[in-house]
Structure 1
Amino acid sequence: MSMSTQAPRVIRIHPRDNVAVVVGRGGLTVGERLDDGVELQANVPQGHKVALVALAEGDKVIRYGEVIGTAAMAIPRGGHVNESNLHMPTPPALEDLPLATRPAPSTEPLEGYTFEGFRNADGSVGTKNVLGITTSVQCVAGTVDHVVQRIKRELLPRFPNVDDVVGLNHSYGCGVAINAPASVVPIRSLKNLAMNPNFGNEVMVIGLGCEKLQPSTLVEDQPVRIYEHTDAADSGANVLSLQDESFEGFGEMVDGIMAMAERHLERLDRRRRETCPVTDLAVGMQCGGSDAFSGLTANPAVGFATDLIVRAGGSVMFSEVTEVRDAIHLLTPRAVDRSVGQALIDQMAWYDDYLSQGQADRSANTSPGNKKGGLSNIVEKALGSVIKSGNSPIVDVIGPGERLRKRGLTFAATPASDFICGTLQAAAGMNLQVFTTGRGTPYNLPMTPVIKVSSNSTLGQRWHDLIDLDAGRIATGEASIEEMGWELFHLILEVASGRRQVAADRLDLYNDLVLFNPAPVT
């Protein structure tokens, strides 16, 4: 790391690196000299890379001690390295990757940490107490939105222990190949979304009636009770179809949903927070709007917090297949056994095939904002992304829409899309999410608190009312990765306990849920 008298001007992570990332808010200008004598040959914006050595065409460009590309042309010492002068390398071959070869780090259990959560009958624990109204088809979305607003106005004030009511709308359910093999992904996602711990095991499904995905399918693992318009006092109903012939007009449909919701709210209102061990936490780690600092500050701090949660017996999942694919060789050795390592490879191979069928490849992942923030390609992005997983052994791999099965560190295979990844992590059973960003996003989930961590202090200060934790202090030397990791860990416990509200919840900002549907649409 080259230092000025005040703060780092550039950051070089690994001794092998032949590029470094510019730290200062205004970047560095042509003619400036770094402490090691490198003279800038071009203006290099904040977060972008400067060449520490002269690179000939075809030379390997190294960051994180790994090859992120080859020089597409000669790049002088002090030159600006970016997507325009880099060729992307091929991804690691999936054959012959080392499986479960790294011994688990020797760490002491972390004891004595708790949070205040809502314990459910199935043993899971919520960090919020929310009425979720799921849907079997997009046709009913407008009706559900209408009813949700009425519930908030007319019913919710009577149930002070219920935090919110959320409509789980989506674009699936009809006009789809319901029996296609890949349809298992959206269907199990919808089933498991309704079982998120923050919904308190109160499953409520609104359907139309004629759709391919019948409402009862979403609760087939539980007793199915159809709402009967003739029995408004029915307290056990969990499914209502708008085409029920007993309804006369829209008003009676709405009245039926309101009556059913009231019974669910009555039960949810009896829930109380109680002291729970960290073993009951299920935290999703995600990044979006990433920049070159994400892998230097926010994601390493998240990785440190990941290891703390795992040491305390909790569950953590990391995701985003395309942001793992080019770093998969760093992950398969960490699998707890060969079967878990093979499961990682299988998920990578499945997604390679999925992208190929769509005539796309992993390079399509990197966005204009990522590049503006200094990330030249998906390889560099992936190497910074996987740092969120910390150093713990990977104990399990789950497919898109599947539920968590084990405590510890799990790879939950999802697309990298923020909204789809968040939806699938919620379906997996997370009760809190940590989301890192370098470019900034107001992203939030309606049923799960989302702690947003900025990777650079420029964003942290500019978005002071949207960011919950500024990890940019690591880049400026004000805090260490360890200090930020502990700060995030304590913040997670505060948010999980309801003692601290995340910024986007205070502002009432929420994204729509988006299902992953790799199956055909008819």
Structure 2
Amino acid sequence: MTDHVGKIIRVHPADNVAVVVEAAGLEEGQTLGEGMVVTARIPQGHKLALEDIEEGGPVRRYGEVIGTAMVAIPQGGHVDETNLHMPTPPALEDLPLATRSAPQVAPLEGYTFEGFRNADGSVGTKNVLGITTSVQCVAGTIDHVVQRIKRELLPRFPNVDDVVGLNHSYGCGVAINAPAAVIPIRTLKHLAQNPNFGDEVMVIGLGCEKLQPSTLVEDRPVKIYENTEAADPEANVLSLQDESFQGFEEMVDGIMAMAERHLERLDRRRRETCPVSELRVGMQCGGSDAFSGLTANPTVGFATDLIVRAGGSVMFSEVTEVRDAIHLLTPRAVDRSVGQALVDQMAWYDDYLSQGQADRSANTSPGNKKGGLSNIVEKALGSVIKSGDSPIVDVIGPGERLRKRGLTFAATPASDFICGTLQAAAGMNLQVFTTGRGTPYNLPMTPVIKVSSNSTLARRWHDLIDLDAGRIATGEASIEELGWELFHLILDVASGRRQVAADRLGLYNDLVLFNPAPVT
């Protein structure tokens, strides 16, 4: 990166725009280095033309074309969505597949964290009781029961961190046998298998729903019991409509008794030293701005490479925030089949958006634009930097579980809540979330480390941000320094030595399923 007197940053030598660093922005008539005069007020994070750009001429950032000029833009002019045409996305045919050799890096050894080992070989970073639901109809009951469990039972089990109700809007009034219904169904099944739940499956249903509760445990060797009087200690499923229940309080008592058995087992778990190879980290961004691709996402990308070097698992996601940079990713696939899988996920989502009479331009939000991102092309080029430089070893569809250690692309929508839900279903035990505009987003079952892209946000949200990557833009720290800082923070949070800000405040978002199938 290069800058002019610390006021603007150009990422790539081929770029003809730079991002304004100054918190107060640049004023019309202000002179920068080499005699450049600012021709209009330009807010922080927005782009300044470094040279005259003729009408129809390419506008470059990250060394890539992010658009063409609608009108002639003078040197020193403001470049934003109002004077840019968005280019077409890269064609999916004939993309280079697995053409780049993997970087030669030494394994990273000797780093560990304190986690909870599970019988299936996975490792948790929290010890949480998860109560899975098969239909939205029981959500109110689960909310009621969760509060009672926290109040009446949890104090007796000091080694259990929390109890979480996995409520959602699915389960009935849906085309349960439609091909795309496999996505929400496998998501729910896999959410219950998240490492932080300690393999303690507990499912509460209504009884008449299309998604029968037993479906969520059908691939597990468990027995189904519908009331507590006849229940075996290993019962995992309870339906509120079971005729043995007389009134609401008996339903609640049944759930409480089941929860107590699971809490007893969870309370016996203890943290033990685990290698970094047991980490499964999800990387996500939300409320992005023009600094995201300069500071926070490169920091995350550096930490991604460290985790991969240590044998761990990292996934990046958000199809619409990858689509316009797909030509930069397919060469990094470990083989042609992985490269083709990337292409197939892009094509599936192109078709999905087309059916909804939308395209990827619908992604960019008013906040993104206020933060200096002109369009989804610029946003995507900054977003994929979270993936670091490691080879992509696998691609999984929405709701599928991680299969390999290393860097995986987990195909998800870019919606913060849907992406987080799908990454949790994939098996992540910790998430890193970058933001430029700010968000209190957090997940109840996995710690979420919040990284700010600019120091203005970090100062304003001092009790919500865990790491300020804006120090890169001001020259106070390098990407490498903050990458290592984030890596060590990940290990501390995974070990329970540090608590993320949103957990301290008790802020948690609802789970949101991705359901591309019809609703009846």
TM-score between both structures, scaled by the size of structure 2:
0.99
Alignment match of 1:238 (pick from 229, 236, 239): 236
CA distance in 1, matches of 2:189, 2:252: 23
Q: 1:320 to 1:408 in 2, by over 3 A?
A: same
Q: 1:500 to 1:232 in 2, by over 3 A?
A: farther
Corresponding residue for 1:209? Answer: 207
C-alpha contact 1:232 1:259 (8 A) present in aligned 2: no
CA distance in 1, matches of 2:159, 2:504: 17
C-alpha contact 2:228 2:254 (8 A) present in aligned 1: no
Superposed counterparts of 1:12-411, under 5 Å: 12-229=10-227, 231=229, 234-411=232-409
Q: 1:116 to 1:481 in 2, by over 3 A?
A: same
C-alpha contact 2:226 2:237 (8 A) present in aligned 1: no
CA distance in 1, matches of 2:510, 2:51: 46
CA distance in 2, matches of 1:421, 1:231: 40
C-alpha contact 2:61 2:378 (8 A) present in aligned 1: yes
Aligned amino acid, residue 209 of structure 2: E
C-alpha contact 1:228 1:234 (8 A) present in aligned 2: no
CA distance in 1, matches of 2:494, 2:147: 26
CA distance in 1, matches of 2:222, 2:405: 30
SS in 1 for 2:34: coil
Q: Deviations over 1:467-519 (max 9, x none)?
A: 00000000000000000000000000000000000000000000000000000
Aligned amino acid, residue 259 of structure 1: A
SS in 1 for 2:139: helix
Aligned amino acid, residue 177 of structure 1: A
Aligned amino acid, residue 153 of structure 1: R
CA distance in 1, matches of 2:70, 2:428: 43
For structure 1, list consecutive stretches of 5 or more residues without a partner in the other structure.
none
How far residue 34 of structure 1 moved from its aligned partner, in angstroms, is 1.3
C-alpha contact 1:404 1:429 (8 A) present in aligned 2: yes
C-alpha contact 1:2 1:36 (8 A) present in aligned 2: no
C-alpha contact 1:129 1:164 (8 A) present in aligned 2: yes
CA distance in 1, matches of 2:228, 2:52: 80
Q: 1:41 to 1:186 in 2, by over 3 A?
A: same
How far residue 255 of structure 1 moved from its aligned partner, in angstroms, is 0.2
Aligned amino acid, residue 61 of structure 1: V
How far residue 233 of structure 1 moved from its aligned partner, in angstroms, is 6.6
CA distance in 2, matches of 1:414, 1:423: 9
Corresponding residue for 1:472? Answer: 470
C-alpha contact 1:297 1:472 (8 A) present in aligned 2: yes
Aligned amino acid, residue 478 of structure 2: S
CA distance in 2, matches of 1:308, 1:89: 34
How far residue 224 of structure 1 moved from its aligned partner, in angstroms, is 3.2
Corresponding residue for 2:511? Answer: 513
C-alpha contact 2:225 2:231 (8 A) present in aligned 1: no
CA distance in 2, matches of 1:262, 1:233: 13
C-alpha contact 2:226 2:239 (8 A) present in aligned 1: no
C-alpha contact 2:191 2:424 (8 A) present in aligned 1: yes
C-alpha contact 2:113 2:494 (8 A) present in aligned 1: yes
How far residue 232 of structure 1 moved from its aligned partner, in angstroms, is 6.5
CA distance in 2, matches of 1:33, 1:457: 24
SS in 1 for 2:183: helix
C-alpha contact 2:228 2:258 (8 A) present in aligned 1: no
CA distance in 2, matches of 1:394, 1:384: 18
Superposed counterparts of 1:433-444, under 5 Å: 433-444=431-442
How many residue pairs were aligned? 519
Q: Deviations over 1:251-273 (max 9, x none)?
A: 00000000000000000000000
Q: Deviations over 1:448-468 (max 9, x none)?
A: 000000000000110000000
Superposed counterparts of 1:485-500, under 5 Å: 485-500=483-498
Aligned amino acid, residue 14 of structure 1: H
CA distance in 2, matches of 1:269, 1:3: 57
CA distance in 2, matches of 1:131, 1:163: 8
Aligned amino acid, residue 2 of structure 1: D
Corresponding residue for 1:3? Answer: 4
How far residue 231 of structure 1 moved from its aligned partner, in angstroms, is 2.9
Q: 1:77 to 1:220 in 2, by over 3 A?
A: same
SS in 1 for 2:115: strand
CA distance in 2, matches of 1:319, 1:48: 26
CA distance in 2, matches of 1:164, 1:328: 39
CA distance in 2, matches of 1:39, 1:364: 34
C-alpha contact 1:68 1:89 (8 A) present in aligned 2: yes
Alignment match of 1:427 (pick from 425, 428, 447): 425
Q: Deviations over 1:54-88 (max 9, x none)?
A: 11110000000000000011111100000000000
Q: 1:337 to 1:266 in 2, by over 3 A?
A: same
How far residue 230 of structure 1 moved from its aligned partner, in angstroms, is 5.4
How far residue 223 of structure 1 moved from its aligned partner, in angstroms, is 2.3
Q: Deviations over 1:78-119 (max 9, x none)?
A: 000000000000000000000000000000000000000000
CA distance in 2, matches of 1:112, 1:500: 20
Give the superposed CA RMSD: 0.7
C-alpha contact 1:2 1:34 (8 A) present in aligned 2: no
C-alpha contact 2:96 2:330 (8 A) present in aligned 1: yes
CA distance in 1, matches of 2:383, 2:228: 54
For structure 2, list consecutive stretches of 5 or more residues without a partner in the other structure.
none
Aligned amino acid, residue 259 of structure 2: A
CA distance in 1, matches of 2:175, 2:84: 42
Aligned amino acid, residue 166 of structure 1: V
Aligned amino acid, residue 3 of structure 2: S
Identical residues among aligned pairs (%): 87
Q: 1:349 to 1:228 in 2, by over 3 A?
A: closer
Aligned amino acid, residue 425 of structure 2: A
How far residue 355 of structure 1 moved from its aligned partner, in angstroms, is 0.1
SS in 2 for 1:440: coil
How far residue 228 of structure 1 moved from its aligned partner, in angstroms, is 4.7
CA distance in 2, matches of 1:516, 1:123: 28
Q: 1:42 to 1:455 in 2, by over 3 A?
A: same
How far residue 235 of structure 1 moved from its aligned partner, in angstroms, is 1.4
C-alpha contact 2:130 2:202 (8 A) present in aligned 1: yes
CA distance in 2, matches of 1:115, 1:125: 10
SS in 2 for 1:222: coil
Corresponding residue for 1:445? Answer: 443
SS in 1 for 2:385: helix
Q: Deviations over 1:375-420 (max 9, x none)?
A: 0000000000000000000000000000000000000000000000
Aligned amino acid, residue 55 of structure 1: I
